[in-house]
Structure 1
Amino acid sequence: MDFVVVTFRTLQSGMSYAPSPKKTGLPREVWKWLQGTGLSFYPKNVRRDFSNGYLLAEILSRYYPQSFPMHSYDRGTSLSAKQSNWGLILKALQKQNLSLVKSVIEGTIHCKPGAAELLVQEVYSILTNKSIKSVPGPELDFTDREYQEILPPVARSTASRAIKSNLTATEIIAEPDISTNQRRTNVILQRHAVHKSAEKAVYPGRFRMKPRRSPLVGKALVSSSYCDECDINPSSEDVAAKLCSTSVCCKAAASYKELKVLQPVRRSQDKEL
């Protein structure tokens, strides 16, 4: 009801109302700052909309219009468009004696979790000279670890799914070296193994293996064919000569029962119609 009242009052006053998306990962003051920059379109998905660098160049052009001409930037979402835009942004930032963390830029280009949010907060602090209390520490972790911790143990990713979620296709295209991608894959697998071992320590009953109840019949018969009375050892060379032909001597545990099956009598098909 409150949302309807606010929207109705906003329409009456003739003002534009743009509610901030849910679970964006950005503080409230940063969203207010973005709304006041007059962007060409409102970022609904921070990870997707900031990946090509166009919105960031548009923000920087409000503060440095001569260094960031918007006609030089591409709105495309391909990897080549992203690399071209970010190359122009880095050159213009160097002229203004400004710098951004390289790992944060790469994470934003490849849509890593939390990278674009951290980049926007860093740009906000540089341009406004204001600090944000919610900015994370120096440890950068652009993985799906936080999302996996929220999920129940049954729904968490397997090893193959972890590789697919944390190693994007654009990373492989940008760096096609096989050894580099193998190192990235090994890091993801090692991290997944550490998380899985910690999960086993917390939930030991979930990973308890149950014994299979279908052993091999031949192995059971050989192991049960040893008899103290007739001194038969199945490990000797002449096992076939010493094994008892009947189960009376060794009292074998296996018992057999003959089943007789009555076959239906087929009618003669030679009768003439």
Structure 2
Amino acid sequence: MTYAQTPRKTGLPREVLKWLQSLDLSFYPKNVRRDFSNGYLVAEILSRYYPQLFPVHSYDKGMSLSAKQRNWSQIERSLQKQNLHLMKDVVDGTIHCKPGAAELLVREVYTALTNRSIRDVQGPASDFTDREYQELLPTLARSTASKAIKNNLRITEIMAEPDISTNRRKAEVILCRHLERKAAERVLNPGRFKVKPNLDHLAAKTLVPSSCSDESVDRPSSGDTASRIGAAVSFKDMKDMHVCTSRWQH
């Protein structure tokens, strides 16, 4: 495959794309998020440098959650023998096809194996959510609170960690970020939301929190309307997701 034939929107720098081509992989990753999620391509890349540690025939090409977990567990054990490590949150994000995770993982692998730095200008650190995509959309087309949870909490995450309390906390964090963005939109565009500023709104402009920590999500105040809404939405969505997960498992 020539460089002109490679996918244009991969989220990877030019030198990384050329490096991937030079490895003569069994298939070229046209969809980075999907094609790297099960770990098979990563194992194939690593086998070019450490053929004894990463025999490709021992890895599963399947896309089920169990196949992904087996592959990545085997990859991590073999990497430890070379004193190499990949960030757990990046691996988890790649497994669950989170936005930006696979791209960051491929960059890490490239840097570790080639000892080269990537020359492109790095943007802000990714939080593995669809935030950047949502910001590109017109305001009216952006996700609702319920949709934000469904977009950013994958069914495979729930299958991998089925504890409902853990997943509820994840949903509440996602919801909190969503409500923060909505609040910021109201402050910046009061006319669109037909908001008439009063003394409370004017005072709030100087007191809007810059971030919402997990701690504040875990212990919302009883008078916090956003937290009450969040609990209702996240509980309903978590219940629906667990019903869907049980169907997948059967």
TM range (shorter): 0.7 to 0.9
Structure 1 CA distance, aligned partners of 2:93 and 2:164? 20
The alignment partner of 1:103 has SS state of helix
Give the letter for the 1:116 counterpart: A
Matched, 1:43 2:43: no
Deviation at 1:138, TM superposition (A): 8.1
What is residue 143 of structure 1 aligned with on the other side? 129
Matched, 1:65 2:33: no
TM-score, length basis structure 1: 0.69
Q: Larger RCO: Structure 1 or Structure 2 (Cα < 8 Å, ≥ 6 residues apart)? A: 2
- The number of residue pairs the alignment matches comes to 195
What is residue 106 of structure 1 aligned with on the other side? 92
What is residue 52 of structure 1 aligned with on the other side? 38
Confirm or deny: 8 A CA contact 2:100 2:126 kept in the other structure: no
What is residue 17 of structure 1 aligned with on the other side? 2
The alignment partner of 2:192 has SS state of helix
Give the letter for the 1:127 counterpart: L
In terms of fraction of residues, the more helix-rich structure is 2
Q: Where does structure 2 lack aligned partners over 5 or more consecutive residues? A: 197-250
Runs of 4+ aligned residues of structure 1 deviating over 3 Å after TM superposition are 133-140
Matched, 1:173 2:133: no
Structure 2 CA distance, aligned partners of 1:135 and 1:106? 25
What is residue 146 of structure 2 aligned with on the other side? 160
Q: Percent identity?
A: 70
Residue by residue over 1:98-142, the C-alpha shift from the partner in whole angstroms, topping out at 9 and shown as x without a partner, is 001110000000000000000001100011111113374784410
Deviation at 1:183, TM superposition (A): 0.2
Deviation at 1:203, TM superposition (A): 1.6
> Over aligned residue pairs, what C-alpha RMSD do you find?
1.6
Question: Which structure would you say has the larger Rg?
Answer: 1
Confirm or deny: 8 A CA contact 1:53 1:82 kept in the other structure: yes
What is residue 192 of structure 1 aligned with on the other side? 178
What is residue 250 of structure 1 aligned with on the other side? none
Residue by residue over 1:60-105, the C-alpha shift from the partner in whole angstroms, topping out at 9 and shown as x without a partner, is 0000000001111000000000000001000000001100111000
What is residue 269 of structure 1 aligned with on the other side? none
Structure 2 CA distance, aligned partners of 1:204 and 1:138? 28
The alignment partner of 1:205 has SS state of coil
Structure 1 CA distance, aligned partners of 2:47 and 2:85? 16
Give the letter for the 2:93 counterpart: G
The alignment partner of 2:109 has SS state of helix
Structure 2 CA distance, aligned partners of 1:122 and 1:17? 24
Confirm or deny: 8 A CA contact 2:7 2:30 kept in the other structure: yes
Structure 1 CA distance, aligned partners of 2:120 and 2:178? 27
Matched, 1:84 2:70: yes
Q: Which of the numbers 91, 97, 102 marks the counterpart of 1:116?
A: 102
What is residue 187 of structure 2 aligned with on the other side? 201
TM-score, length basis structure 2: 0.75
Give the letter for the 1:17 counterpart: T
Structure 2 CA distance, aligned partners of 1:137 and 1:203? 26
Confirm or deny: 8 A CA contact 1:39 1:59 kept in the other structure: yes
Residue by residue over 1:139-175, the C-alpha shift from the partner in whole angstroms, topping out at 9 and shown as x without a partner, is 4410011001111101010000100100000000000
Confirm or deny: 8 A CA contact 2:186 2:195 kept in the other structure: no
